[in-house]
Amino acid sequence: MRILFATSEMDDFVQTGGLAAVAAALPRALRAVADVRIVIPGYPDVLRQMQGAERVAECPAEGNLPACSLRRGCTFDGLSVYVVECAGLYERPGNIYCDPQGRDWQDNDARFARFSSVAAALAAGKLDPAWQADLVHVNDWQCGLVPAYLEWNGWNVPSLFTIHNMAFQGLFSRGSLGRINAPGHAFQVDGLEFYGKVSFLKAGLQYATHLTTVSETYAREITTAEHGCGLDGLLRRRAGEAQLTGILNGIDESWDPKSCRDLVRPFAAGNWAERRENADHLRREFGLAVSRGPLFGLVARLVHQKGVDLVLAAADAIIHAGGQIVIAGKGDPAFEEAVYKAQRQRPQAIAAAIRFDPRQARRIFAGTDFIMMPSRFEPCGLSQMYAQRFGSLPIGRCTGGLAETISDDETGFLFADASTESFLGAIVRAFALFGRKRSLNRMRESAMARRFGWSHSASRYKDLYRTILAG
């Protein structure tokens, strides 16, 4: 099978969330059974690493979308990567989605419409004379127009659209229709219209051949009003037509505490003295007081979805009971300031790094006793998988991928409601376990024995690709 994997980010080059990790790992897991090729926008970090990429096509302007180039290169391990090069759209400072002040780029509709139109043409064999796709696998709203352009141009290439988070929808004013060269008939309830706006996410949901989410639980949740973000009716229809599938994400094999180079002392299950060295180092790294109490961590985007407010509300209880807290991540400026304020008030017990450093994140997973994930919703989540592999027991709300990957009272703790009271109930259970060292170490061993590799998930995607192509 020839699969084009369209993504707006990838760990090899640039990362803002879990999509980047998936884009780096899933295509590699599929290489044994398919010719998988990536297509990604030409951000500065991508271009720096792809300097020797061969130009395979010049793409003329399409209405209000500027001309661009398509290059092809490969990663360090030979994975083929196409880069959509357009300096005016992608070579900018700041985040790949936002300006240096954290505001969405005003022309994100044109930026990702241009990317999607090139990806669709590439999949259809219109750009690389030596290759075309049997199927295109697209991800999140930034790629949502790929299935739409295939439909609007009459290119008979099936598409799979993976929803990583329904909360990010790519909403633009009706005036965006002209900028993205959408036909007039597309602005309707059975197209990309969403309450008077243009929705790139809805375009993917509407026009893709098949939909997936990143866990089975989330696939069910998004068909409800609570989690469907106004699109639950469309999703119920797709599910009723057997066109919505949940496939749990995995993590790559580098998440192994026995060989991780980012730890001060690699360790295996049962080597608890070596693991304590990582905890002691983490306290020194973050300037926390010496303590033999439990160390709690939060490694996440600092946004409402992740329950950062619940962590801050529970902080006093955790500290009064003898615990300490390490928080790492970026996000909503209000939450960033609230975390800084908590640190200033209790610098010996609360530490924060308002950034995302993947190497530091590994040290947090290896040095903490518990990782907090009080998410209001969590399509899949990766931190709970990383934490278990490194012997830190996750405390997560029973939602989405957390419900599928945390075994309550066996490899972590689950709680029911997105409330401080429910979360604190799980925190109390964690403190009780911490006081019983044998039980704590048995749970750590159970957690570290869990395997979340990509082989099973890749096999399910392979089977789904074949089903779509046969259809």
Could you read off the pLDDT of 429-439 as tens digits, one per residue? 999 999 999 99
Per-residue pLDDT, 273: 96
Kindly state the DSSP code that residue 104 receives in the 8-state scheme. B
pLDDT at 101 over 90: no
Number of other residues whose CB lies within 10 A of the CB of residue 431: 18
Q: Note the pTM of the prediction, 2 decimals.
A: 0.94
| Out of 111-115, 231-235, 328-332, least confident range | 328-332
Average pLDDT of the segment spanning 261-275: 96
pLDDT at 63 over 90: no
Q: Give percent above pLDDT 90 in the chain.
A: 95
Per-residue pLDDT, 17: 85
* DSSP-based three-state secondary structure for 190: coil
**How far apart, in Å, are the Cα atoms of 440 and each of 368, 376, 434, 437?**
13, 27, 6, 5
* CATH 3.40.50.2000 domain extents, the chain: 2-250+455-470, 272-449
Q: Which residues pair with 246 in a beta bridge?
A: 213
Tell me the pLDDT band of 388, cut-offs 50, 70 and 90.
very high
The region that residue 346 occupies, defined by phi over 0 for left and psi between -120 and 50 for alpha, beta otherwise, is: beta
Handedness of CA 325, 434, 372, 311 (dihedral sign): negative
Strands, E, within 80-125: which ranges? 80-85
Cβ(141)–Cβ(168) below 8 Å: yes
Tell me the pLDDT band of 252, cut-offs 50, 70 and 90.
confident
pLDDT at 161 over 90: yes
Per-residue pLDDT, 39: 98
Average pLDDT of the segment spanning 76-95: 95
Q: Which two tokens stand for residue 333?
A: 């400026």
Q: What whole-number distance in Å separates Cα of residue 270 and Cα of residue 259?
A: 15
Could you read off the pLDDT of 292-302 as tens digits, one per residue? 999 999 999 99
Considering only the top CATH level, what class is 272-449?
alpha beta
Q: The domain 2-250+455-470: what is its CATH number?
A: 3.40.50.2000
